[in-house]
């Protein structure tokens, strides 16, 4: 196989800082493990808007379609708040998700043992927590038409449309069942079938895919509001959660925060297999662009580094190398190296973004 290609899109805020540490890790794999990647870099979000007047240029979109995997930092910032909706930084990310058809967004919510006390939840509620949230990423209210702000009579009305087809639901359900088979074999599907017809169809299709294709996986259904409650009450009851784009946005953020390790959590967004058998893929940290600390060398690069570990596992079938990288992160945490977001006592001096990256390299 030819050298695998990576497109790096650092984006806005702390994106460039954390991505610089990922570059070090990529270089380490090239030098020490003989795993060369063909890396290119480009702009997305506010950075792309500043350069080109759009949050993702057609050229960058085209590149993203060609490469084996995209690594994204973060998008957004207050300086872009007043931009027109169509050119907001987020639209760049949403365009990537939509045009690459990355329908399955994997968001592990894992509690790192060394960080369990950092959660606002009690230690026994979160220690050892390991949930995988599978969020549908290319449809639902994020993309449904009609949408917009219209005038009706003498006032304006804001409209968005939640839309799910059977095949859109079925493919993300399959991806959840496949993951469950390699984990604890349990899937909980969440919607609001008690108030939304789209939720009724969601529940029905997930059940059908289960019955016909994955009868051995344990499947349960929960209303999304009850799901949010249960995540806060006893998150360890879950293995894989599958849900739609908007509920997934909220529930995965709640789950991420529970772990106390927001700066540690990666994500993978996967689409259909390409000609070379690899899935279309984009990897990004769960955290945002954190404009308040951008440019200060304070950001935690771990979530972005672990996103690269997910790339090794899901795009390049290098599970053992991904394990190696994840183990290095665990080791650094065990050593007590902490960026500012992971510190409890005011007195201690936190590690900088670069120091954290270097510590992970050293542990490798």
Ligand X SMILES: CC(C)[C@H](C(=O)O)[C@@H](O)C(=O)O
For the annotated binding site, the residues are 77-90, 97, 107, 135, 225, 249, 253, 288-300
Nearer to a copy of itself, 152 or 346 (CB): 152
Residue 124 among the catalytic residues: no
Q: Which two tokens stand for residue 191?
A: 């919607």
Residue 181 among the catalytic residues: no
Q: What is the CA radius of gyration of the chain?
A: 20
Name which of ligand X, a copy of itself, none residue 45 binds, using a CB cut-off of 5 to 8 Å depending on partner kind.
none
Q: Which of 27, 101, 249, 358 is catalytic?
A: 249
Residue 225 among the catalytic residues: yes
Strand 144-152, strand 218-223: pairing: unpaired
Residue 63 among the catalytic residues: no
How many beta carbons lie within 10 A of that of residue 77, not counting itself? 21
The reply on whether position 99 binds ligand X by CB under 6 A is no
The residue within the footprint of ligand X, chosen from 31, 195, 320, 327 (CB under 6 A), is 195
Burial zone of 18 (CB within 10 Å; 0-12 exposed, 13-18 middle, 19+ buried): buried
The reply on whether position 38 binds a copy of itself by CB under 8 A is no
Q: How far is the CB of 3 from ligand X (least distance, A)?
A: 29
- Asked if 102 and 310 touch (Cβ cutoff 8 Å), the reply is no
Strand 104-110, strand 130-136: pairing: antiparallel
The reply on whether position 33 binds a copy of itself by CB under 8 A is no
Q: How far apart are CA 6 and CA 84, in angstroms?
A: 31
Q: Which of residues 214-273 bind ligand X (CB under 6 A)?
A: 225, 249
- Residue 77: closest CA among 51, 47, 57: 47
Q: Which two tokens stand for residue 344?
A: 């409890």
Residue 249 among the catalytic residues: yes
The reply on whether position 292 binds a copy of itself by CB under 8 A is no
The binding site for NAD(+) consists of 77-90, 288-300
Q: Which of 253, 280, 283, 341 is catalytic?
A: 253
Instruction: Report the half-sphere exposure of 27 (CA within 13 A, side-chain side).
Output: 11
Q: How far is the CB of 107 from ligand X (least distance, A)?
A: 8
Kindly list the distances between the CA atom of residue 297 and the CA atoms of 15, 305, 335, 340, in Å, as whole numbers in the listed order.
Answer: 11, 16, 20, 10
The residue within the footprint of a copy of itself, chosen from 60, 104, 175, 198 (CB under 8 A), is 198
Which residues lie near ligand X (CB under 6 A)?
76, 90, 93-94, 194-195, 225, 249
- Report, as residue numbers or ranges, the catalytic residues: 142, 192, 225, 249, 253
């Amino acid at each position: 196989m030819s050298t695998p290609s990576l497109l790096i899109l650092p984006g806005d805020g702390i994106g460039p800082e954390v991505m610089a540490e990922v570059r070090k890790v990529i270089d380490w794999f090239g030098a020490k493990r003989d795993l060369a990647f063909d890396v290119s870099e480009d702009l997305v979000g506010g950075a792309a808007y500043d350069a080109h007047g759009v949050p993702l240029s057609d050229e960058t979109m085209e590149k993203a379609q060609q490469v084996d995997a995209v690594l994204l930092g973060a998008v957004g910032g207050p300086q872009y708040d007043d931009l027109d909706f169509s050119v907001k930084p987020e639209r760049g990310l949403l365009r990537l998700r939509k045009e690459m058809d990355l329908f399955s967004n994997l968001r592990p919510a894992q509690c790192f043992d060394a960080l369990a006390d950092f959660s606002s939840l009690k230690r026994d509620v979160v220690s050892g927590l390991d949930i995988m949230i599978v969020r549908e990423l290319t449809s639902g209210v994020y993309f449904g038409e009609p949408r917009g702000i219209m005038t009706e009579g003498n006032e304006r009305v804001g409209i968005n449309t939640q839309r799910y087809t059977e095949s859109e639901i079925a493919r993300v359900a399959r991806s959840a069942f496949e993951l469950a088979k390699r984990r604890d074999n349990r899937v909980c599907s969440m919607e609001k079938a008690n108030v939304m017809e789209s939720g009724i169809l969601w529940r029905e299709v997930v059940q059908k895919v289960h019955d016909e294709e994955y009868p051995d996986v344990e499947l349960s259904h929960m209303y999304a509001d009850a799901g949010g409650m249960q995540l806060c009450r006893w998150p360890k009851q879950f293995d894989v959660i599958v849900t739609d784009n908007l509920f997934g946005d909220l529930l995965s953020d709640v789950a991420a925060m529970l772990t106390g390790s927001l700066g540690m959590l990666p994500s993978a967004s996967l689409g259909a297999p390409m000609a070379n058998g690899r899935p279309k893929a984009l990897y990004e940290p769960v955290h945002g662009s954190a404009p308040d600390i951008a440019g200060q060398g304070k950001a935690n690069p771990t979530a972005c580094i672990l996103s690269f570990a997910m790339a090794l596992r899901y795009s390049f079938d290098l599970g053992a190398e991904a394990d190696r990288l994840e183990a290095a992160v665990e080791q650094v945490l065990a050593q007590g190296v902490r960026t500012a977001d992971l510190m409890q006592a005011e007195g201690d001096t936190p590690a900088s973004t670069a120091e954290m990256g270097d510590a992970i390299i050293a542990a490798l």
